[in-house]
Amino acid sequence: MRNTRLWFLQLVTGALIAILLGIHMVMMHLDTILGFFGIDAVEMHSWESMIDRAGQGIWASLYIALLAFVLYHALNGLRNIILELAPSVRTERIITRTIMVFGIVVFIWGAYVPIALLAS
């Protein structure tokens, strides 16, 4: 039932991305609307503001989770597309392993800053 679980995770991560990306988009790009509701979200794009958020547990967790979900969703989707064109089991194995290694490397790279800031 491996493929069923992978597909179900694809479904779950898709729904979670919609929620987390929604939060991200509202905070980063809808500051005028947030201001209308009395939330002061100015200077969200500044370096200091970004580093400050990355050092807070809740924001760091949110962004690390978003990174993990996006990487899984995108790379599993990419793997499915490539596998449809793969002519042999050996090629499939190479593709799967390459994509897994790529995903892990990108995740460590992306999650390094918030984890380092949290640790400091």
Partner 1 sequence: MTEANTKQITLRVQRYNPEQDSSPYLQEFIVPVSRGTTVLDGLLYIKENMDSSLAFRTSCRMGICGSCGMLINNYPHLACHTQIEEFHTDTLTIKPLPNLAIIKDLVPDLATLFDNHKAIKPYIIHHDTEEMETPSAEFTQTSQTLDSFLQFTYCIKCGICISACPTSASDKLFLGPQALAQCYRYCSDSRDGGESERFPVVDTDHGVWHCHLAGACSEACPKGLDPALAIQLLKRRLVSHSLGLSKKQSPSPIVPPPTESNPKVPFPEFTVKGS
Binding of partner 1 by 58 (CB under 8 A): no
Report the residue from 57, 84, 90, 120 that binds partner 1 according to the rule CB under 8 A: 84
- Tokens encoding 34: 């947030």
Binding of partner 1 by 7 (CB under 8 A): yes
- Tokens encoding 78: 């990419």
Question: 3-state DSSP call for residue 45?
Answer: coil
Following CA atoms 16, 17, 22, 27 in sequence, which dihedral angle do they give, to the nearest 10 degrees?
110
How many binding residues for partner 1 (CB under 8 A)? 14
Which CB, 48 or 90, lies closer to partner 1?
90
Binding of partner 1 by 87 (CB under 8 A): yes
Binding of partner 1 by 90 (CB under 8 A): no
User: Smallest distance, Å, CB 58 to partner 1?
Assistant: 29
Q: CA of 112: how far to CAs of 10, 12, 15, 55, 87, in Å?
A: 24, 25, 25, 12, 37
Binding of partner 1 by 5 (CB under 8 A): yes
Residue whose C-alpha is closest to residue 24's, from 52, 57, 62, 55: 62
Which residues of this chain interact with partner 1, rule CB under 8 A? Answer: 1-8, 80, 83-85, 87, 92
